[in-house]
Amino acid sequence: MHLSRRLSELFNPLLNSLDGRVQRHRVNSRILVSEANRFVFYRIPKAGHSTVGKTLVHYDPHLSAEERQGIEISGSKSGPYLHPRELGRRRAQVAWREYFKLTFVRNPYRRVLSAYLDKITRNKPATKNLKTSPTDEHGQPLTFLDFLAQIKGVALYEGPHWAPQVALLPRDRSRLDFIGHLEKIDTDLAKVVQRVYGRQMADGVKSWDDHKTKSGDDFHRYYDGPAIDAVRSLYREDFAAFGYSSDPEAALR
């Protein structure tokens, strides 16, 4: 199993092209490939990936109403789409060279707070088998500032939910055809549906609400001076790569 995984990471272009700071096998399951529609969707946790995926399934012309309903009932986040390792090297080469490659990103202040609220305060499974602990030495949930301190260094890349977004994408981000922003998901996702399916998003965005954390509520409760400085440092690459202001007030606009 590990040898097969290693060979895929070496020779599959959808995997060996990745940034690599987050282990590629953790990213593999977050990449969706549609051979029928010729797209590759790099899903970034806590950046609206479930809503984008559900919307892509909803408008997919190759799916029947019964198939879409079955996917929704199952709760599958992958839907009918494949991951790079399932494609194999040759089909992945075609996807890497020819398919429409997209992702959606989010303001780092909002995204890391959403990860904290979901995975630490709710004690969700993303922290299992990682060095990051959801509790302090007294068994109490970590404060937001303690969490930010804990994910400095190597731990920052252990959890895809809080890893920098650039670390979940190809090293050469110019290979991406579209980078959408969660803050503009209505208009950006409409552009994707038009480009991929050649149709308008007549039914609007199909939201997946199960894991919403309402990270905008009580924003200032979590963001004092030290937390702002920590996020600016931890996610400086994301701020620069995706055009987000380092001013936390901009995250609320």
Bridge partners, 105 (sequence order): 181
Burial class of residue 49 in the structure, from the number of CB atoms within 10 Å of its CB (0-12 exposed, 13-18 middle, 19+ buried)? buried
69-112 tens-digit pLDDT: 999 899 888 999 999 999 999 999 999 999 999 999 999 999 99
CATH architecture of 2-243: 3-Layer(aba) Sandwich (3.40)
What pLDDT shows up at residue 181? 98
How many of the other CB atoms lie within 10 Å of CB of 156? 20
> Helices in the chain by DSSP H: which ranges?
2-11, 13-16, 24-28, 49-59, 65-74, 84-87, 89-98, 108-116, 144-150, 185-197, 219-222, 225-234, 236-242
Torsion of the alpha carbons at 182, 183, 186 and 192, rounded to the nearest 10: -40
**Residues 166 and 19: beta-carbon distance below 8 Å:** yes
The model carries a pTM of 0.91
Once rounded to an integer, what is the mean pLDDT over residues 192-206?
Answer: 92
Boundaries of every domain in the chain: 2-243
Confidence of residue 169 (pLDDT cuts 50, 70, 90): very high
Asked if pLDDT for residue 194 goes beyond 70, the answer is: yes
pLDDT (mean) for 39-60:
96
- Tell me the one-letter amino acid at 62: H
CB 56 within 8 A of CB 79: yes
Nearest one of 116, 104, 89, 75 to 230, comparing CA atoms: 116
pLDDT(1) > 60: no
Mean pLDDT of the chain: 90
DSSP string, 139-177: SPBPPHHHHHHHTSGGGGGT-TTTS-GGGGSBSSGGG-S
Q: Is residue 140 a contact partner of residue 75, using CB atoms and an 8 Å limit?
A: no
Tell me which of 27 and 134 has the higher pLDDT.
27
- Model confidence at 67, pLDDT cuts 50, 70, 90, reads very high
Q: How many CA atoms lie within 13 A of 77 on its CB side?
A: 17
